[in-house]
């Protein structure tokens, strides 16, 4: 299968296709068609798509254009299930209505406003076009009834390992989330509002509509149970779940305290060096972990939420006492496997770098 998308990143319909291609994890090539240089009007392009719009998708010898037709084709042909485009007639009819609303109302409001400015040198949007945008917003606001949207918010700081564990789970499950930065150095977690929500004043805290829960371990298991397409990250099988729970509590009770009590005096109270007894706690945590890691993942043969939680903490401990592969071959092999996960690269690594920079700027 060779998929090619004739594309321009600035074009919203092209971006819709890109989102679906990425979501479905399909391999594809982009060919940039710069409409400002009239590249959509070449003889070759018009032979392929006489309507000379972008995007156009080519799948071997099959050609189709119009982003809505493309995304539906991709899900129908390559989706593992019909989650993005339900085969239930009523659900599908509503999705189709929204797709046509995009074609007929949303996109024209944008195009009619932009084209005179981008292509014909006009300097201001015409008032009647701005009216179309406002009217499109009014309609959309009415469609987006509460039942049809799920809004998760995570009170978060990237440098915090438990927050990064939640980010990895949210990213892995592809859940839309609003991150609310909660800076501990600025005491954002001690405001009256925050304390009303989470009297333990820890981050992360998850808000799902009117439901509030904190503690990263409770959050990741909630997310999988409520929103996971299957239970693979937190199996319902009693024995598998018990092992995962043990690892999660090990993170709460051993790994994370070893980190917290080492760095808190340095981050918040101006100490310059970790206390030797805290370094001993980290070594002891490594010794235990090395013994647990007899399988590829921390709770067995499959990746689970325990890998997100423990890798967020252990990758941070690694900043304080580097994990020697000669002494801890199992931890170092596992951490390497974790570091190859997209969720780790995208959601653990940036915050881990923040953590590392903060630590290195404070010790001396």
- 92 vs 260: CA distance, rounded Å: 49
In 3-state terms, what secondary structure has residue 153? strand
- 221 vs 344: CA distance, rounded Å: 18
In sequence order, the β-bridge partners of residue 7 are: 32
- In the complex with ligand GSH, which residue's Cβ is closer, 85 or 234? 234
- 246 vs 132: CA distance, rounded Å: 57
Q: In what order do the strands lie in the sheet with 152-156?
A: 177-181, 152-156, 205-208, 211-214
Structure-token pair, residue 342: 């997209």
Asked if 206 and 154 count as a contact pair (C-beta separation under 8 A), the reply is: yes
What lies within 8 Å, CB to CB, of 328 at 6+ separation is: 286, 289, 290
Please give the backbone phi and psi of residue 293, each rounded to the nearest 5 degrees, phi first.
-85, 65
Residue 216 CA, chain-centre distance (Å), reads 16
Give just the sign of the alpha carbon dihedral 175, 7, 65, 29: negative
Catalytic residue flag (residue 160): yes
Task: Give residues in contact with ligand GSH (CB under 6 A).
Answer: 160-162, 184, 189, 201-204, 215-217, 252
- 121 vs 78: CA distance, rounded Å: 42
What are the catalytic residues? 160
């Amino acid at each position: 299968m060779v998929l090619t998308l004739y594309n321009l990143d600035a074009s919203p319909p092209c971006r819709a296709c890109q989102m679906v291609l990425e979501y479905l994890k399909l391999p594809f090539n982009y060919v940039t068609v710069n409409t400002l240089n009239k590249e959509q009007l070449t003889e070759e392009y018009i032979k392929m798509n006489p309507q000379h719009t972008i995007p156009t998708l080519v799948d071997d010898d099959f050609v189709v254009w119009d982003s809505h037709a493309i995304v539906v084709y991709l899900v129908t042909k390559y989706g593992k299930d019909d989650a993005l485009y339900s085969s239930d007639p009523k659900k599908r009819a509503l999705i189709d209505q929204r797709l046509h609303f995009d074609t007929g109302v949303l996109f024209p409001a944008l195009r009619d406003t932009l084209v005179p400015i981008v292509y014909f040198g006009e300097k201001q949007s015409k008032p009647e076009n701005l009216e179309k945008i406002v009217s499109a917003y009014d309609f959309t606001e009415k469609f987006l009834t509460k039942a049809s949207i799920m809004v998760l918010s995570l009170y978060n700081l990237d440098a915090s390992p438990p927050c990064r564990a939640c980010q990895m789970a949210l990213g892995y499950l592809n859940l839309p989330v609003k991150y609310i930065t909660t800076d501990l150095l600025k005491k954002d977690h001690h405001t009256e509002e925050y304390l009303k929500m989470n009297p333990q004043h820890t981050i992360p805290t998850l808000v799902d509509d009117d439901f509030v829960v904190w503690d990263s371990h409770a959050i990741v298991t909630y997310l999988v149970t409520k929103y996971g397409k299957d239970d693979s990250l937190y199996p319902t099988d009693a024995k598998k779940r018990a092992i995962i729970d043990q690892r999660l509590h090990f993170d709460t009770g051993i790994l994370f305290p070893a980190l917290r009590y080492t760095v808190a005096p340095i981050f918040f109270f101006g100490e310059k060096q970790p206390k030797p007894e805290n370094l001993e706690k980290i070594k002891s945590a490594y010794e235990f972990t090395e013994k647990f890691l007899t399988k590829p993942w921390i709770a067995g043969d499959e990746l689970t939420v325990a890998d997100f939680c423990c890798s967020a903490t252990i990758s941070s401990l690694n900043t304080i006492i580097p994990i020697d592969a000669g002494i801890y071959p199992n931890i170092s092999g596992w951490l390497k496997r974790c570091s190859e996960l997209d969720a780790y690269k995208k959601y653990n690594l940036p915050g881990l770098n923040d953590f590392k920079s903060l630590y290195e700027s404070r010790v001396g």
